[in-house]
Structures are given as structure tokens and as C-alpha cells.
């Protein structure tokens, strides 16, 4: 094979690779995570809500995700909703993160950090425990274990 044919094949391969990458990224944008709005939050009124503020660059945030997922699975349909609020990544990035870690609880983004400011969240992770009446009854800063989460959630569900 001549150098010219080889270069043409290489250029064609590179072009196909770029096209495939563009298709893959647009497919992930279809599963974009919505921004959190008050309307979205109001959908969960009457339920106990764990509102977890996080970022994928935060190691403690990543470490508590399995515990949040376990609590979500155990108490979903029993009056508890776990909501993840990412404060630094795009919806597409959050969707990829959640998919890779098999997180099934609802995720939102807070790109302008409006909710972060409204709830005076200064450190990550921060989780707000909101009772069924919509009142923040506890604020926890730092990673949580599944047993800690369960011990905090169960009294709120009674």
C-alpha cells in the first residue's frame, strides 16, 4: 500500500471516529438531567425528601452515593424521595455519572447554584432532610453511611 493510500485511509478512519463520537455525545444529551426548579421540588410535597447537594469532583460525595441509592431503594414508595442536586456539571455529565454508578433516584442540576444559595449550602456534600410538611428539619454536611441515613429517615417516616 502506498503512503498516499495509507494516509487517505487514516484520514477516512479519523473522520469516521469523529462522526461516531459526535453521535455518541448527542445521544447522551438526549438523557440530559433537568435543572432543579421550585416546581420540580413542589412535586414531592407531602413526602419526606433527602435533598443531596453534590459534585462528581467531590470524593466524599462520590463515596456516599451507594448509601443514598440503597436508602432510595429501601424506602421508595414508602414516603421517602432522595433527590440528587449536582452543582457543578452539565446535565449530560450528571446523566453519565448516574448511569455508570447505576443510580436510579431523581437527579437535577443547579447550574446557577440558586438552590445552593437559597439553602445556604457552603460545603459538599450537604444533605437536607425535609419533612412531609416541607420543613428542613436537619442539615448534614459530609458523607453519610447507609445506617446513618436510615436512622435519620425512619423517624421522619412515622
Please give the full DSSP string across the chain, using - where no structure is assigned: --HHHHHHHHHHHHHHHHHHHHHHHHHHHHTPPPBP-HHHHHTTTTSEEEEEEE-TT-HHHHHHHHHHHHHHHHHTTTTEEEEEEESSS-HHHHHHHHHHTT--S-EEE-TT-HHHHHTT--SSSEEEEE-TTS-EEEEEES---HHHHHHHHHHHH-
Each residue's pLDDT expressed in tens, for the chain with a length of 158 residues: 666 654 544 444 444 443 443 333 333 344 589 999 998 999 999 999 999 999 999 999 999 999 999 999 999 999 999 999 999 999 999 999 999 999 999 999 999 999 999 999 999 999 999 999 999 999 999 999 999 999 999 999 99
Domain boundaries, the chain: 1-30, 38-157
pLDDT of residue 2: 66
Query: According to CATH, what is the number of the domain 38-157?
Result: 3.40.30.10
Amino acid at each position: 500500500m502506498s503512503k498516499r493510500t495509507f494516509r487517505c485511509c487514516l484520514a477516512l478512519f479519523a473522520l469516521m471516529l469523529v462522526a461516531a463520537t459526535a453521535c455518541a455525545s448527542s445521544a447522551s444529551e438526549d438523557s440530559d438531567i433537568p435543572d432543579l426548579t421550585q416546581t420540580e421540588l413542589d412535586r414531592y410535597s407531602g413526602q419526606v425528601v433527602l435533598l443531596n447537594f453534590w459534585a462528581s469532583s467531590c470524593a466524599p460525595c462520590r463515596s456516599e452515593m451507594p448509601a443514598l441509592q440503597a436508602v432510595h431503594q429501601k424506602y421508595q414508595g414508602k414516603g421517602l424521595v432522595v433527590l440528587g442536586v449536582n452543582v457543578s456539571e452539565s446535565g449530560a455529565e450528571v446523566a453519565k455519572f448516574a448511569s455508570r454508578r447505576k443510580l436510579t433516584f431523581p437527579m437535577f442540576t443547579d447550574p446557577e447554584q440558586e438552590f445552593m444559595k437559597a439553602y445556604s449550602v457552603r460545603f459538599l456534600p450537604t444533605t437536607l432532610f425535609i419533612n412531609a410538611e416541607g420543613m428542613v428539619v436537619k442539615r448534614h454536611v459530609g458523607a453519610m453511611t447507609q445506617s446513618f441515613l436510615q436512622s435519620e429517615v425512619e423517624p421522619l417516616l412515622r
